[in-house]
Amino acid sequence: MLPTLVLASSSPWRREILDKLGLPYRTKHPEIDETPLPNESASALVARLAEEKARAVAPYYKNALVIGSDQAAVLNGQIIGKPGTHKRAVEQLQAASGQSVTFLTGLCLLNTRTGRTQVETVPFHVHFRQLTDAMIEAYLEHEQPYNCAGSFRSEGAGIVLFERLEGDDPNTLIGLPLIRLIRMLEAEGVAPF
């Protein structure tokens, strides 16, 4: 019997990405503490949280492949989170103007039957244009990305802020690296289509 595929997330964007594979799946919100550990790097943080999300959901399923994912944006060595407010979004975009922001996405696939985990951190680089205050205000008024790390939505109008994008899989920027996930699923005997 094929394992149940479970997305340990309540993110509508991750669901939309996973829908591309055409595989049936369930979702379950993981209840975890996402506070970074002292001196934890962004790469270690997202890998740890992706695995913790998968492990938090795993006890609810006996024969499942549980997908956990977490993302952090890094600018000049510092993690920048979700702005929450207009003022903070303006500050984040001003700081990103003319700079590169690296998005690190932790991905975990946990087989609840065997206990096997596969964990990877996948980078994606966003190179910002020189942004004027007027551009930033117009963008924020249009998109209101206050719950998005880095203060933009690349799947929306955020693309106007970029000089170029660099990475293996554009889905990574939105929060679920499908190319890596497909390899992990295939290693567990599950293939899309």
Q: pLDDT tens digits for 46-57?
A: 999 999 999 999
pLDDT at 193 over 80: no
Pick the catalytic residue: 19, 70, 168, 169?
70
Mean residue pLDDT of the chain comes to 94
Question: Does 168 participate in catalysis according to the annotation?
Answer: no
* pLDDT confidence of residue 147: 87
Domain covering 4-187 assigned CATH 3.40.50.10490 in the classification: no
Question: Does the structure show a pLDDT above 90 at 192?
Answer: no
Q: How confident is the model at residue 76 (pLDDT cuts 50, 70, 90)?
A: very high
Q: Which amino acid is at 107?
A: L
Which tens digits make up the pLDDT trace of 121-170?
A: 999 999 999 999 999 999 999 999 998 888 988 888 899 999 999 999 99
CB atoms within 10 A of CB 132: 11
Counting Cα atoms < 13 Å in the Cβ hemisphere of 47 gives 12
Q: Where are the beta strands (DSSP E) in the chain?
A: 4-7, 26-27, 64-75, 78-80, 100-111, 117-128, 162-166
Query: What's the whole-model pTM score?
Result: 0.91
